[in-house]
Copies of this chain bind each other. A is one copy, B any other.
Amino acid sequence: MRQAALLRSDKGLGTPGTDRKKVKPAAKAPVETTIPGDDRKDHFVVRNGVRCAGVHLIIDLYEAEGLADIDLIEAALRKCVSEAGATLLHIHLHHFEPNGGVSGVAVLAESHISIHSWPEAGYAALDVFMCGDAKPENCIPVLREAFKPKRIVVGEHLRGQGA
């Protein structure tokens, strides 16, 4: 796995860092890291008496700040992962021009987190899908602190009921 990680990154054999490559100004480079670690942790659980594959939160941030700041967004995603007690397998962020919006996904042993931001509208759409012992609701305070939205709307799906 370290070999594979090296092939995708020009960094050393330590903890995989962020591989951010600047391309032309009009097409900012994607940011991505793949982190070794492979035990699946998104097994079916019973949540509020319902057996399901996991909890999927649909989160809208309105009148939010920092939505063009790819470093802030990456840090927020990583903090969401740690606060939720989840395991990061791969993270990829894409910075759009000219509006500065960011699309980011974090693939987890427990499923995923995604963010898509529209800085010009002060709006970001996230979803947080986690199972096992992870606590997706712990991401909400992280997002409040990072992006200071004046309004957050959170929807919840218990995925895979009856599977």
Contact = CB atoms under 8 A, between A and B. Distances in A.
A93 to B, nearest CB: 9
A105 to B, nearest CB: 5
Interface residues of A, number: 58
Given A34-B32, A58-B157, A53 B96 contact: no
Contacts of A121: 44, 53, 160, 163
A147 interface: no
Interface in A29-78: 29-30, 32, 34, 36, 38-40, 42, 44, 53-54, 56, 58, 60, 62
Given A40-B101, A58-B56, A118 B34 contact: no
Nearest to A22: B4
A103 B114 contact: no
A94 interface: yes
A160 B125 contact: yes
Contacts of A40: 96-97, 99, 101
11 contacts: A4-B30, A7-B10, A38-B96, A39-B96, A40-B96, A42-B103, A60-B160, A105-B107, A112-B116, A125-B160, A127-B129
